[in-house]
Amino acid sequence: MTVTGKPNRKKPLLFFTSFPGEGHTNPVLAIAVSLVAKGYEVAYLCSPTYRDRITEAGAEFIELPWELRGQSIEERMDLEKVPIGLDRAAKQLSHVFYKDLRIRVEAVTRALEDLRARDPSRQIIMVEDGPNMGAMPFRYGRPLPRGFSEMPKTIGISPTPLMLRSQDTAPFILGLPPDSSHSGRQRNEWLHRLVHDGPFKPLVEAWQRGLDECDCTVVPSGSPLSAWHEGYDSLVMLCSPSLEYALSDIPSSVEFAGCLPRRGIAKTIQYPEWWSEVTQNAQRADRKTIFVCQGTVNVDWSELVIPTINAFAGREDVLVIAALGRRGTSLEHDAVTSPNIHVIDYIPYDAVLPLADVFVSNAGYGAFCHAVTNGVPGVFAGQTEDKSEVAMRAEWAGFAVNMRRQRPGVEQLREAVEEVLGDKRFKAKALELKAENEALDSMARIERVVERWTE
């Protein structure tokens, strides 16, 4: 279905671009859809994978000649030799985000030049997710695109927790709670130095090398992850303030828009034959529904899916729904035959979470936000990418148990789920956060940010 918003020539042209991964492009594209419906003209640079979704949104598609590809067998084996932690994170982030930065930046440059040549007098506002880094090199001396005497206003969208370096927090990725006490700030400062000069040194070098390849004249300093959230005229956080740490030194450019609204369920969705049991179970006070999913990337189901199934198979007081996150996949496991266990290859979060009493997740930021918008408490277990940071924020906000590990055991999972189900404060906090985010009205707030930078 094509969204039809009547373009208004008095409005600026919005140039959107996003890193071509689901967790990055999905939220940014949802914002583009909303703004098109408000009468904005949107041109969207992304990889061919997203062509149809972008054009169906009513935006102009501009092709990024680059796709996010999975690692080769050799690269994956090399990465798996590195234990989960800072060394692996540095290696993975360097490969995924910095290796081909030049290709993305050159595509941004060409797109801006073409859009300016098309209508030299029209204002352009650039909107992108921070990890895409399409605007970053221009802050470090890369020549401006032809036709520009200065960069357009830029709005960063964060599909992650806040990564800005702060005196109140330890380095991002460590997953430590904030500490603004005198001793805590000393701890934070020393940890920043140790991480920057130690395990993250290869990431710092990849950042500097990537910018050098983009013809930058200034050698960057600071944190390569903090830089993802720096330099924008506005940085939009897709969460409410209660879902982030209260930092004493947070820049005025940071805007809390709230979690994006639930997307609604497509009329074409095909529910499994056992779905009536799920809807009926949601009406029962004596039987709880546990939903477990590891997202769309992690398919090692021995980490969370299988342990959760093992923890609750055969129980008459719970129903377990396990989603594998990828269409066409299946799970061969003895416990799946238990009558209280249902496994499905893929189902939208917003279809199942309103019926769930607890969400067991590996702490992706999308899962975190969906839990909030559906008012569902969680059990989060994840240590890769930004997941330890997401899980800590869920714990800090009070709506989830943070397992602080990648592979919790069966008994550990059982105890964590039962803690959430047995303590009404988790559900109460989840509902409070849901209401807080709904009241913010994220799409309206994001439009106001655009209006603020409209000339």
pLDDT of 398 over the 90 cut: yes
Any idea which of 26-40, 82-96, 369-383 has the lowest mean pLDDT? 82-96
Instruction: Compute the distance between CA of residue 125 and CA of residue 157 in angstroms, rounded to an integer.
Output: 13
- How far from the centroid of its chain's Cα atoms is residue 101's Cα? 19
**Around Cβ 142, how many Cβ atoms within 10 Å?**
19
The CATH number covering residue 169 comes to 3.40.50.2000
What's the pLDDT at 75?
Answer: 61
- Backbone torsion region of residue 314, taken as left when φ is above 0, otherwise alpha when ψ lies between -120 and 50, otherwise beta: left
From 226, 256, 286, give the residue that closes a domain. 256
Number of domains in the chain: 2
Task: Give the model's confidence band at 311: pLDDT under 50 very low, under 70 low, under 90 confident, else very high.
Answer: very high
Question: Across residues 47-60, what is the average pLDDT?
Answer: 97
Name which residue leads in pLDDT, 345 or 337: 345
Q: Is-above-0.85 flag for pTM?
A: yes
Instruction: Compute the distance between CA of residue 390 and CA of residue 437 in angstroms, rounded to an integer.
Output: 17
Nearest by Cα to 134 from 40, 20, 218, 32: 20
What's the pLDDT at 145?
Answer: 99
What's the pLDDT at 262?
Answer: 93
pLDDT of 268 over the 50 cut: yes
Number of H helices, E strands in the chain: 15, 13
Q: What is the DSSP string of 208-238?
A: HHHHHHTT-SS---S-TTGGGGSS-SEEEES
C-beta of residue 176 within 8 angstroms of C-beta of residue 392: yes
- Note the pLDDT tens digit of each residue in 186-231: 999 999 999 999 999 999 999 999 999 999 999 998 999 999 999 9
Looking at the fold, whether 252 and 292 belong to one and the same domain comes out as no
Looking at the fold, whether 347 and 428 belong to one and the same domain comes out as yes
Q: Which SS3 state, helix, strand or coil, does residue 158 take?
A: strand
What's the pLDDT at 1?
Answer: 44
Task: Give the model's confidence band at 97: pLDDT under 50 very low, under 70 low, under 90 confident, else very high.
Answer: very high
Q: Is residue 182 part of a domain?
A: yes
Looking at the fold, whether 250 and 282 belong to one and the same domain comes out as no
From 192, 227, 256, give the residue that closes a domain. 256
**CB < 8 Å & 24+ apart, contacts of 275-280:** 277/319, 277/342, 278/319, 278/321, 278/342, 278/352, 278/355, 279/355
User: What Rg, from alpha-carbon coordinates, does the chain have?
Assistant: 22
Domain residues for the domain of 64 are 13-256
DSSP 12: P
Task: Give the model's confidence band at 7: pLDDT under 50 very low, under 70 low, under 90 confident, else very high.
Answer: low
What's the pLDDT at 70?
Answer: 59
C-beta of residue 222 within 8 angstroms of C-beta of residue 165: yes
Looking at the fold, whether 76 and 209 belong to one and the same domain comes out as yes
Instruction: Compute the distance between CA of residue 432 and CA of residue 430 in angstroms, rounded to an integer.
Output: 5
- The one-letter amino acid code at 147 reads G
Looking at the fold, whether 237 and 309 belong to one and the same domain comes out as no
Instruction: Compute the distance between CA of residue 286 and CA of residue 316 in angstroms, rounded to an integer.
Output: 10
Phi, psi of 105 (to 5 degrees): -70, -40
Question: Across residues 137-146, what is the average pLDDT?
Answer: 98
Instruction: Compute the distance between CA of residue 204 and CA of residue 206 in angstroms, rounded to an integer.
Output: 5
Q: Is residue 99 part of a domain?
A: yes
Looking at the fold, whether 217 and 281 belong to one and the same domain comes out as no
pLDDT of 2 over the 70 cut: no
**Around Cβ 143, how many Cβ atoms within 10 Å?**
13
Q: Is residue 452 part of a domain?
A: no
Task: Give the model's confidence band at 6: pLDDT under 50 very low, under 70 low, under 90 confident, else very high.
Answer: low
> Which residues 6+ apart lie within 8 Å of 428 measured at CB?
none
From 221, 256, 291, give the residue that closes a domain. 256
Q: Is residue 156 part of a domain?
A: yes
pLDDT of 74 over the 80 cut: no
